[in-house]
Chains A and B, each alone.
Chain A
């Protein structure tokens, strides 16, 4: 795999979009853009799965498996048998 970061868990259903533009406002990597009255997924591979858009999307048009993209936290979680990795920063 030349770039493991090209693929992620972000899914968007524009049929459910109500055009509130919240996803555009909260995304730190400009993954969404407003295209007329609706949001458009224009830069999906930049998604870091922080979950901000999903949490602030009232009609539920966005789904993403959010979590910390931190190997140190995941290794620690695996070693200590934690279910969910959380960082200590």
Chain B
């Protein structure tokens, strides 16, 4: 006997829910602290949420659990299909930048899922931030589906679906404190091990103050900088970083004079300068590295910033480091 179902390609549709479970939230937590970064993914394909009919809207997203879960939890009460692209576990915007959330993948996924047989209409609703990877007219030409760019944020979808017109606010990407705050754990996890290693070495070579200085400079760049970003003076990330690093270095420099009033003046000044030169350089470098996590820096701007400020960071850090070595030897 031949199983008919196995030869007629019946589109496979995975069921999913609006509600997020404790397991979903645990997965989100792990993603946010950078545990198994590439593994927060789900199977690409077509999903059904609610009780969709052939007239129900189709939403497109990435196979990153945070993206998919943000979408489905925002659709509460809306019957629809979710077309999950294979972006290799990367969020929509970053995947669009790489082209994995892109025209070719949409065309392929529409074919694999036989989407044209599941729905009667010919419209795909994409997150706006998928646009850097998708040429809407190309998708139309190759699949017959119109691409409609929905709002930036999934939470705006219910309001958007009433008129299919996005307000200017729905189209804007901001970078509020909350969005910066959720990035801090990953920034912190990135630097914690090298920071502790350097601090331990510095403790044995230069003492407790030097060890704390390393921790302070790194924490200023990785934790304080993202939080304080809009309030730090100047426009460039490097100068903001130098300023923040300088402020953090100030108490260390002062403490040299308070702790060692008996030292000759050039030794006091020398050690104070170590902190004032090396610490801001470290903070500024980490600040510059935060550009990629923000929502607004351009490539040409970052490139200019790198060429302008990395030499200054290298010089100030180098001189501070040399000074430290020299002072250790003549001690």
Contacts and interface: CB of A to CB of B under 8 A. Distances in A.
Interface of A: 1-5, 7-9, 22, 24-30, 46-52, 55-56, 58, 65-75, 86-89
B293 A49 contact: no
23 contacts: A3-B235, A4-B302, A5-B235, A5-B296, A8-B298, A8-B301, A28-B152, A46-B296, A47-B298, A49-B298, A52-B132, A55-B133, A65-B299, A67-B299, A68-B97, A68-B292, A69-B294, A69-B296, A69-B297, A71-B289, A73-B292, A86-B98, A89-B293
Contact of A50 (B97, B171, B236, B294): B97
B134 A5 contact: no
Interface string B166-180: 101001110000000
A3 B295 CA distance: 17
A57 B166 CA distance: 19
Interface in B266-305: 288-289, 291-305
B302 A69 contact: yes
A56 to B, nearest CB: 5
A50 B305 CA distance: 18
B33 interface: no
Given A28-B152, A28-B295, A72 B289 contact: yes
B305 A71 contact: yes
Given A2-B234, A56-B137, A49 B172 contact: no
- Top 6 A-B pairs, shortest CB-CB distance: A70-B292, A52-B131, A69-B297, A26-B131, A28-B173, A3-B235
A49 B300 contact: yes
B235 A28 contact: no
B235 A49 contact: no
Nearest to B303: A74
Given A22-B136, A46-B296, 12 more contacts: A3-B236, A28-B128, A28-B129, A30-B172, A56-B137, A58-B137, A69-B301, A71-B306, A74-B303, A74-B306, A88-B37, A89-B293
B34 to A, nearest CB: 10
Contacts of B128: 25-26, 28
B186 to A, nearest CB: 8
B304 A1 contact: yes
Contacts of A68: 97, 292, 299
Interface in B144-172: 149, 152, 166, 168, 171-172
Given A56-B137, A71-B305, A4 B288 contact: no
Nearest to B148: A25
Contacts of B16: none
B308 A1 contact: yes
Contact of A5 (B171, B289, B295, B297): B297
Given A48-B296, A49-B300, A2 B168 contact: no
Nearest to A73: B292
Nearest to B152: A28
Contact of B292 (A47, A66, A72): A72
Contacts of B91: 89
Contacts of B293: 70, 89
B135 A55 contact: yes
Nearest to B138: A55
Contacts of A47: 298
A3 B304 CA distance: 10
A29 B90 CA distance: 22
B136 A4 contact: no
Contacts of B302: 4, 69-71, 74
